[in-house]
Amino acid sequence: MAVGRPQAAIHSPDAVTTRPRGPLREPVRAYIALGANLGNARAAVLAAMQSIAALPQTEVVARSALYRSAPVQAQGPDFINAVVGVDTRLNALELLAGLQQIELEAGRQRPYKNAPRTLDLDLLLYGQAHITSATLTVPHPRMGERAFVLQPLAEIAPQHVTAAQRAAVVQQRIERLD
């Protein structure tokens, strides 16, 4: 491509583009759930936290403890879970693309729904946004049904978890790790 020649724009509604020029957008606080139950799950979750921190225009500003939880609506070994809060200038689809790339680099495969996994990253909240698209729904549609999301989220952002939500998942097995 010739120097100074503009690139063609991508017009797909789910296209992920970045704008290297112009004023930076204000950072948005987003929350991401991390989980793994194959291989060295603890190491995978910790490595994913570092990879999230390395995403462009993104800073990890809060990190929950690690938790061990039983699979929900799935089979397999226990999960290691956590939630991180980030301030990011990426839009929601850019952030999602970055998270999916981290999953791929960790060997994530999707052979069937709720299969055991080397790494699972879910974008739970993106500021106050409500997003429904073919590739992303925010707030995450099932976060209120999962203790492995609500407990670590309540640890770092209690304003996003109600007592009723916590009461609804009290029967799910979850244990905070040191």
Catalytic-labelled residue, pool 25, 63, 89, 108: 108
| Secondary structure of 85-121 in HEC code, one letter for each residue | EEEECCCHHHHHHHHHHHHHHCCCCCCCCCCCCCCEE
Catalytic residue (one of 19, 68, 78, 117) = 117
Catalytic residue among 19, 42, 78, 120: 120
Tell me whether residue 117 is one of the annotated catalytic residues. yes
Q: How many CA atoms lie within 13 A of 65 on its CB side?
A: 11
DSSP assignment, residue 22? Answer: S
25 given a catalytic annotation:
no
Per annotation, catalytic residue among 63, 68, 122, 146: 122
Contact between 36 and 120 under an 8 Å Cβ cutoff? The reply is yes
Q: How far apart are CA 160 and CA 77, in angstroms?
A: 28
Catalytic site positions: 108, 117, 120, 122
